[in-house]
Amino acid sequence: MSDPTPALTDPAVDGDAPADATGASSAQEEDALLDRVRPVAGGGRDIKDAATRQVIGRAPEQSVAELDDAVARAKAAQPAWEALGHEERSRLLLAAADRIDASAEALARIVSREQGKPLNGPGARFEAGGCAAWLRTAAATVLEPEVVVDDGEVHAELIYKAVGVVGAIGPWNWPMLIAVWQIAPALRMGNTVVVKPSEYTPLSVLALLSVINEVLPADVLIGVAGGRELGARLASHPDIDKVMFTGSTATGRKIIESSAGNLARLTLELGGNDAGIVLPDADPQAIAEGLFWGAFINTGQTCAALKRLYVHDSIYEDVVSALGQLAEQVPMGVGLDEENVLGPLQNEQQFDIVSRLVEDAKRNGGRVVAGGSPAAELGELFYRTTIVADVADGVALVDEEQFGPALPVIRYSDVEDAIARANGLEAGLGASVWSSDRDAARKVAQRLQAGTVWINSHGGVHPMIPFGGVKGSGYGLEFGVEGLKAVAVPQVING
């Protein structure tokens, strides 16, 4: 799980599906998981397959009163959960990871249908596997007391204790994986967690929670599904001690305002508009697949995807041509079809955003090298994989986060200008530098205003490497030791 942008020849992308991937057993287990999360007393709302627009299940629509009850139950359960100690909590997280592995194909099918990402490539099976990997890493990561002074007269240690109740508010693009990014460290440190999934993709998250809860004590991990009013209440709830949110910068600002009342600690992973800079010594053919998957993983619906690409004038046309060829070749379609590795936009709102930005780029002189229009023959929310050349800063496709399958490629001649333009927007989640000279790339990377800068790749995450944004992309770190500290309260023992 160290890199979500594998080459098309990587076995993780092209490997055979499990033997029963299209058989009755997988479908039956999928139905059984969906039955677990269906509203027990009627009500709720239909959730549609992103690709086919057919109803795949019903999700609960819970009230603010039900959320309040969930928080109260989580608060009551927290002291006993913390008292189990790190070793026992880690054992249970490892058991939960085993349960996820056992249900991985059914979970992958649910998230493929609900979110739209195909089973293969860096898609739904990848996401299900990542959930288990992040749980295991959180269980195995050691957070030792830190001796800050020991001079013979004073001995002071810094230790980390549970915060209390964590409110986890997730997005729709990687619904299960990002939920686990929030859940795993929080549980590991002795917190209880109330999860509010996106109203667009609740089924996969609720199914995942039901699998994890097969091994956890009651009320340690609770999911509450519903509209945005639940997220607002969770962020401002007086008994929530920590809020973890992944989503838009605008919503992140509202959560900051809400937290003024309860003084909840925050980890915010907000919107990104990641820039990539291709230096003149790069080999266009060698970097083409890395650029492509950096931009188009999950059909571009990834916060830390490559969203604007600055290419030196001397190799500009070669890079544009290589990207255009890949965009035309990589198969797109319904996620349950084994050959596809790109899918639809997840929802109508995002489809409209991508369409608007591409049309605006055309009006402003953008040259469509590949794609550039809806793929209506595939389904309602499909948009062709799109490369737009000859655009510049100030065009909406460059300045706004498209969060979809459309990459603007911007020409530059002076690297100082490229750095300034890359740093010119509010977003600061990720960035990348592409070069045959790693030392030269590192010098450029250190000048980019982003939480993570990748060299000759883009968007790869690892459960032990801290991840977080700067500027309008939020604050706080996830993953590894720093991720455990982020869901804990530091305490100094002096004496």
**Residues with catalytic function:** 269, 303
DSSP line for 12-80? HHHSPPPTTTTSHHHHHHHHHHHHHHS-BTB--EEEE-TTT--EEEEE----HHHHHHHHHHHHHHHHH
Amino acid at 467: F
CA distance 279 to 274: 16
What are the E-state strand segments in 130-170?
146-150, 155-162, 165-169
Helix (H, G, I), strand (E, B) or coil at 408: strand
CA distance 296 to 292: 6
315: left (phi over 0), alpha (psi -120 to 50) or beta: alpha
- The tokens of 36 are what? 């677990």
CB 326 within 8 A of CB 296: no
For the chain, the first-to-last Cα distance in angstroms comes to 42
β pairing state of 274-278 and 430-434? parallel
